Chain A
Amino acid sequence: MFGRNSKRFARLWMVLIFGFLYLPIVSLVVFSFTDSSVPNVWGGFSLRWYKALTTDTDLKESLWLSLKIATCTATAAVILGSLAAASLHRYPRFFGRTLFSGMVNAPLVMPEVIVGLSLLLMLVSMQRLLGVPDRGMITIWLGHLLVGMAYATVVIQARLRDLNPQLEEAAQDLGARPWQVFFLVTIPMIAQALLSAWLLTFTLSLDDVVLSAFLSGPGATTMPLVIFSRARLGLNPSVNAIATVVVVIVAIGVTVASYMIAQQERRRSKDVAAVQRAH
Chain B
Amino acid sequence: MGELAFVRTGCFDALKGSGMPINFLAWKPGPRAAVIGLPFFWLSVFFLLPFLLILRISLAQMDGALVTPLTTLSDGVLTIRIHLASFVQLVSDDLYFATYLVSVKYALITATICLAIGYPFAYFMSRSDRQWQPALLMGVMLPFWTSFLIRVYAWKSLLEPNGWVGAPIHASGLDEVLAFLGMIPSPDQLMYSPFSLVLGMVYTYLPFMVLPLYATLSKMDLRLIEAAQDLGATPWQAFWRITVPLSKSGIVAGFMLVFIPCVGEYVIPELLGGPETLMIGRVLWDEFFSNNDWPMASTVAVVMILVIIVPIAIFGRNQERAQEAS
Tier of interface size on chain A: 35 or more
- Tell which of B6-14, B82-90, B91-99, B169-177 binds the partner: B6-14
Main secondary structure of the interface of B (DSSP, over half): helix
Is B281 a contact of A109 with CB atoms below 8 Å? no
Q: Is A71 an interface residue (CB 8 A)?
A: no
Q: Mark A67-108, 1 if CB is under 8 A from B, else 0.
A: 000000000000011011011001100101001111111111
Bound complex: CA of A100 vs CA of B260, how far in Å? Answer: 20
A-B contact pairs, 15 of them (CB 8 A): A13-B120, A22-B143, A80-B38, A86-B35, A100-B39, A109-B315, A113-B281, A113-B285, A118-B301, A161-B326, A177-B14, A203-B145, A232-B271, A243-B147, A258-B138
The 5 A-B pairs with the shortest beta carbon distances in the complex, nearest first, are: A111-B264, A24-B154, A118-B50, A40-B157, A84-B39
Q: Mark A114-147, 1 if CB is under 8 A from B, else 0.
A: 1101110110010000000000000000100110
Tell me the minimal C-beta distance from B49 to chain A in angstroms. Answer: 6
Bound complex: CA of A121 vs CA of B256, how far in Å? Answer: 27
Is A24 a contact of B155 with CB atoms below 8 Å? yes
- Chain B residues proximal to chain A, CB less than 8 Å: 8-15, 17, 31-32, 35-36, 38-40, 42-44, 46-51, 53-54, 57, 117, 120-121, 124-125, 127-128, 136, 138-140, 142-143, 145-151, 153-158, 160, 162-165, 203, 206-207, 225, 229, 235, 238, 256-257, 260-261, 263-267, 270-271, 281, 284-285, 288, 294, 297-298, 301, 304-305, 308, 312, 315-316, 319-320, 323, 326
Known contacts A103-B48, A112-B264; is A250 also within 8 Å of B146 by CB?
Answer: yes
Is B146 a contact of A246 with CB atoms below 8 Å? yes
Is B35 a contact of A121 with CB atoms below 8 Å? no
Smallest CB gap from A30: residue in B: B164
Bound complex: CA of A84 vs CA of B8, how far in Å? Answer: 17
Bound complex: CA of A275 vs CA of B267, how far in Å? Answer: 53
Tell me the minimal C-beta distance from B116 to chain A in angstroms. Answer: 12
Of A1, A113, A121, the residue contacting B264 (CB under 8 A) is A113
Bound complex: CA of A169 vs CA of B11, how far in Å? Answer: 9
Is B301 a contact of A27 with CB atoms below 8 Å? no
Smallest CB gap from A108: residue in B: B257
- Tell which of A53-61, A223-231, A266-274 binds the partner: A223-231
- Chain A residues proximal to chain B, CB less than 8 Å: 1-2, 10-11, 13-14, 17-18, 20-25, 27-28, 31, 39-41, 80-81, 83-84, 86-87, 90-91, 94, 96, 99-115, 117-119, 121-122, 125, 142, 145-146, 149, 161, 169, 172, 175-178, 181, 199-200, 203, 206-207, 209-210, 214, 224, 227-228, 231-232, 235, 239, 242-243, 246-247, 250-251, 254, 258
**Residue of B35, B49, B145, B312 with most chain A CB atoms under a 10 A cut-off:** B145
Is B40 a contact of A100 with CB atoms below 8 Å? yes
Is B165 a contact of A231 with CB atoms below 8 Å? no
Bound complex: CA of A246 vs CA of B147, how far in Å? Answer: 8
Known contacts A25-B146, A105-B316, A207-B148; is A1 also within 8 Å of B225 by CB?
Answer: yes
